[in-house]
Amino acid sequence: MAKVSAQEPKVEFEPEIESKRAGRQIGIMGGTFNPVHIAHLVAAEQALTKLRLDEVWFIPDNIPPHKDAPLTSAKDRATMLDLATRDNPRLRVKLIEIFRGGVSYTVDTLRYLHEKAPQNTYYLIMGSDQVNSFHKWKEPKEIAKLATLVGIRRPGYPQSPMFPMIWVDAPDIRLSSTEIRQSVAMGTSIRYLVPEPVRQYIKEKGLYLD
């Protein structure tokens, strides 16, 4: 079995900025991605194609405000995201929050993006659980001004948004990063739950065994 390339991930800190570039439609997906899995990728692809976005940017948290579980290193999470998206040029990885440091707040990231690339239109893509808790985020009203809110609809999952939302239907893949980590720790297979290069990377680096 070929080993996963150890090269540095092709991820980006700054958004692409060209003063003469026409504005683009950019989807934003945030989270710890600890690790990224197929449900993340399916949601991104469905939003990308159904909303006719130009790109979807994965922006991994540095320190998430609402989670207490220990994080795998930023380098490992960024590398796994790179491996998962490398075959799709319209899925990009941006390390804005990791380079900024501290606790990662979506409102700060959107303000940064509007400052650096104001010509773009941003769409914040959220899963069903995020939709229901969005009103508890830091400055949700400001976020809703800075980005169009997009919810990934999960069949049979109660959704009670308190802000206007565009809904995108996607296959009902009930999978979480927590489940992936637990499976690895128990020695059960995660094949087909994560992209194969990500599975190989987790195995070779010995991640999630503790």
Query: Which among 119, 143, 120, 147 has a CA at the least distance from the CA of 25?
Result: 120
Do 58 and 85 touch, CB atoms closer than 8 A?
yes
Which pLDDT band holds residue 2 (cuts at 50, 70, 90)?
Answer: very low
Model pLDDT, residue 55: 97
What pLDDT digit, counting tens, does each position of 73-124 carry? 999 999 999 999 999 999 999 999 999 999 999 999 999 999 999 999 999 9
Q: What does the pLDDT read at residue 13?
A: 57
- The pLDDT value recorded for residue 10 is 57
Cα 113 to Cα 111: distance, rounded to the nearest angstrom? 5
For residue 69, the model assigns a pLDDT of 64
User: What pTM did the predictor assign?
Assistant: 0.89
Residue 182 banded pLDDT, cuts 50, 70, 90: very high
CA neighbor of 128 nearest in space, from 84, 63, 173: 173
pLDDT for residue 208 is more than 50: yes
pLDDT > 70 fraction of the chain, expressed in percent and rounded: 87
25-172: what fold? Answer: Rossmann fold (3.40.50)
**Calpha distance 37→81 (Å, rounded):** 9
Instruction: Indicate whether 17 pLDDT > 70.
Output: no
Using left for φ > 0, alpha for ψ between -120 and 50, and beta otherwise, residue 192 falls in left
> For the chain, which residues make up each domain, given as ranges?
25-172
Q: pLDDT by residue (tens digit) across 126-156?
A: 988 889 889 999 999 999 999 999 999 877 7
